[in-house]
């Protein structure tokens, strides 16, 4: 029977244990360039079987929050190379999360102050973060414009270029497409945000088209064994909603089963909230079964509200990887603490977004 601390293979990734650091936005990358202290931050956490970086914009248009990193400039890639070198020096494995926020953005963050882009011109009922004079603050997202069909191939291409740059230039072990939490790929998937009447809207097959095209392009760029994808079937994050998510995501995973991916990363319930949502029931075991029945062999990663007992049970029941989010912020040695059943450091919520080393690299490890 597998243990949380056993090694596991996820595509091309040979992981020392089944504990994953989930992507965690920290808003500490002015000009979209990871700072020098990011090398310390990620290296401190390299005992995880896999590190998934904070969400990282594939293009300037894909940025939705102040001081989040990117993958589209030389200085950004050079900074990420310092991070991956530091993690590899600790024998860790690290992938970068590829991000296009779509409508979850603000005109102040967009090229030339333009409108954010979306499947349809529907403003998201959510907030983004702008940092002014060093102080982060939440503001309403801006009204988006609907993408013209002719623009969509360019976005697919941007995913592929970012993936190739991440692996070949920045030295990442792989990439994860962010198809969750109400960002662009998820916006196209869900009928609450996608009201298109062309080949990218209407039917399940059409709404899934962009996510699948982007995933195939990334697989072509870096290989399926270096590619993961994150999905969130029912989270309400960033005003995400679909009227019938079970058949939608069943179709998606059946298509993904053909791509020989490294892993499928599933957020169960509301991101950072309850694992079950009363008015949004979802059968995650049926989803995994549909993926396996379609021939999918990728590692299955679960995420949301896991502690050691719940994670151990998940691995015993057949899940391959368990992602932990906020506990990794305040516990750089989380793997050791879980192994030894040691107490966890409390998180300082005031330093989660923006700032410098405080609340970022100064949380203590066990003696």
Contact 279, 241 (CB under 8 A): no
Contacts (Cβ under 8 Å, ≥6 apart) of 180: 186, 230, 231, 232, 235, 237, 265, 267, 271
Give me 130's structure tokens: 């702008």
Catalytic one of 42, 183, 200, 251: 183
Active site residue 183: yes
Contact 348, 27 (CB under 8 A): no
CA torsion sign for 110, 62, 323, 187 is positive
Q: Give the C-alpha distances (Å, rounded to integers) separating 175 from 11, 229, 262.
A: 12, 8, 9
Give the 3-state secondary structure of 32-93. HCCCCHHHHHHHHCCCCCEEEEEEEECCCCCCCCCCCCECCCHHHHHHHHHHHHHHHHCCCC
Closest CA to 14 of 263, 258, 340: 263
Q: Give the span between the Cα atoms of 49 and 311, in whole angstroms.
A: 14
Q: Give the span between the Cα atoms of 249 and 134, in whole angstroms.
A: 40
Closest CA to 38 of 81, 89, 4: 81
- Altogether, the residues listed in the chain come to a count of 367
Reported as half-sphere exposure (CB side, CA atoms, 13 A), residue 248 has a value of 26
- Residue 203's Cβ-count burial label (10 Å; 0-12, 13-18, 19+) is exposed
Name the residues annotated as catalytic. 183
């Amino acid at each position: 029977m597998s243990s949380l601390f056993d090694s596991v293979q996820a595509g091309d990734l040979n992981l020392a244990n089944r504990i994953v650091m989930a992507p965690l936005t920290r808003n500490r990358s002015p000009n979209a360039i990871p700072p020098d202290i990011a090398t310390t931050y990620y290296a401190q956490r390299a005992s995880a079987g896999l590190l998934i970086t904070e969400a990282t914009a594939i293009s300037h248009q894909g940025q939705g929050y102040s001081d989040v990193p990117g993958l589209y400039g030389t200085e950004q890639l050079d900074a990420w190379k310092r991070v991956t070198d530091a993690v590899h020096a600790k024998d860790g494995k690290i992938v970068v999360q590829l991000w296009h926020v779509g409508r979850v953005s603000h005109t102040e963050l967009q090229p030339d102050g333009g409108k954010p882009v979306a499947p349809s011109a529907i403003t998201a009922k959510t907030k983004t973060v702008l940092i002014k004079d060093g102080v982060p603050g939440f503001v309403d997202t801006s009204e988006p414009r609907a993408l013209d069909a002719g623009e969509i191939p360019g976005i697919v291409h941007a995913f592929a270029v970012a993936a190739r740059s991440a692996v070949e230039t920045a030295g990442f072990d792989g990439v994860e497409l962010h198809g969750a939490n109400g960002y662009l790929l998820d916006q196209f998937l869900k009928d609450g945000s996608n009201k298109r009447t062309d080949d990218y809207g209407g039917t399940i097959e059409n709404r899934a088209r962009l996510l699948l095209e982007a995933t195939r392009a990334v697989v072509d760029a870096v290989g399926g064994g270096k590619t993961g994808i994150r999905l969130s079937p029912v989270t309400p994050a960033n005003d995400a909603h679909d009227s019938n998510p079970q058949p939608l995501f069943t179709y998606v995973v059946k298509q993904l089963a053909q791509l020989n991916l490294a892993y499928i990363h599933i957020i169960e319930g509301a991101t950072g909230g309850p694992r079950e949502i009363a008015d949004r029931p979802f059968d995650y075991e049926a989803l995994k079964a549909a993926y396996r029945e379609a021939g999918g062999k990728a590692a299955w990663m679960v995420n949301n509200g896991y502690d050691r007992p719940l994670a151990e049970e998940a691995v015993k029941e057949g899940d391959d990887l368990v992602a932990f989010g906020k506990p990794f912020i305040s516990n750089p040695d989380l793997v050791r603490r879980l192994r030894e059943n040691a107490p966890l450091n409390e998180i300082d919520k005031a330093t989660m977004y923006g700032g410098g080393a405080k609340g970022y690299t100064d949380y203590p490890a066990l003696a």
